[in-house]
Amino acid sequence: MEMFNVSRIKGMIKNESQVAVIEGKWEDGRNLSVKSLFDFVCDLRFESQHAFHYEMFNNGAAFQEILPRMCETANIRNIYIAAHGDRDGIYGSSGEAISFTRIKNAVKAINDTKGQLHSLYFGCCLFGQSQNMQELLEESEQLRWIAGYTKSISFVDSTVLDALFWQQYFNFPDSTPLSRIVSVYDRLKSDAPGLIKRLGFKVVVRDHRRTDQVYELV
């Protein structure tokens, strides 16, 4: 009889990573997914491939339902959104364009939840323009930072940077959301400056101690 893996069950129940991954399908007939990235990183850090939550979204209606629901789920502090994208929005598995306005409405709905969401990370081409992320961050008082890519990105290159990011992020579990993302970004600038520049990786944060509370990390 196969013995139960206690750490695996623990990860399933507690979502030790505090991450939810929601993903749009990439290509017809191909098995591309960022899920394998989080399987790998969570297995290394938490000894379980089940230490994060994963769902797929098909269209705008699904996205608007999933985002606030994830915020109400116990122990989810960070949501990673993986999909095709452009400057004006992202795309669900059906290929339906999900406009910036619709995304903003979904983010605004976070305010009606009792969750403690800290961040959104857009693993999407082009959508991570500073103006987009600043406007989204201003829509929800729960959020402390938003990350994304300002350029067209290859699946391999962005997966490498994402792996470096989350591996570092899990190394600072006891920090405040702001100090945690600053520490991670500083480390990335040291370890992968070429990837950051080539992919146009950006992070926008909120700091209530500043006059300009929402600003881009540089």
pLDDT in tens, 57-82: 999 999 999 999 999 887 999 999 99
- Residue 12, pLDDT score: 43
- The answer as to whether 29 is a domain residue is yes
Residue 27 has pLDDT above 90, yes or no: no
- The answer as to whether 99 is a domain residue is yes
Q: For the chain, how many structural domains are there in total?
A: 1
- Residue 73, pLDDT score: 85
H helices of the chain, where?
6-14, 35-46, 60-71, 100-108, 130-137, 155-169, 177-191, 193-199
| 162: CATH | 3.40.50
Residue 147 has pLDDT above 90, yes or no: yes
- The answer as to whether 96 is a domain residue is yes
**Which tokens is 11 given?**
């990860």
- The answer as to whether 11 is a domain residue is no
- Residue 5, pLDDT score: 46
- Residue 26, pLDDT score: 86
Percentage above 70 pLDDT, the chain: 93
- Residue 28, pLDDT score: 66
Domain extent for 189: 19-217
Q: 116 — phi, psi (to 5°)?
A: -130, 55
- Segment 24-47 shows an average pLDDT of 90
- The answer as to whether 34 is a domain residue is yes
